[in-house]
Structure 1
Amino acid sequence: MTHMTTDIQLNLEDADGFYEQLLDAHLDLSDKESALLNAKLILVMANAIGNSAALARCLAAAKA
């Protein structure tokens, strides 16, 4: 498997704060509910990004 280099860099103003919010959002959820939340979050974030090339880079970075 070949790994792609991407230009994805940390851009979050408060990465630790977001991570804490993400963990809190999953509290008390079943595995199924947690997976559904992740799927919904991915679609909401993809819509917010809105750029197909940027989304392709995000997918590549996540798979690396």
Structure 2
Amino acid sequence: MDRETIHEKILLLKGKICSGQISFNGNDDYIILQLDKVKESEDGLVDMNTVSSSLITLIHVADQM
């Protein structure tokens, strides 16, 4: 998955959690913490060094929802 796609999916995931559209069995606080750790690079896209492997996995899970 390229940075642009990951950037879009992270924004979408955060929006869905914050709006209550999806929930991860009481782990929403942990996921929001992981999302808050994501930083942007100078080009405005996510800095992949700040995206945890668990967040990448969650992005794939959210795609299936």
TM-score by length of 1: 0.32
Q: What's the TM-score once normalised by structure 2's chain length?
A: 0.31
* Bigger RCO of structures 1 and 2 (CA < 8 A, at least 6 apart): 1
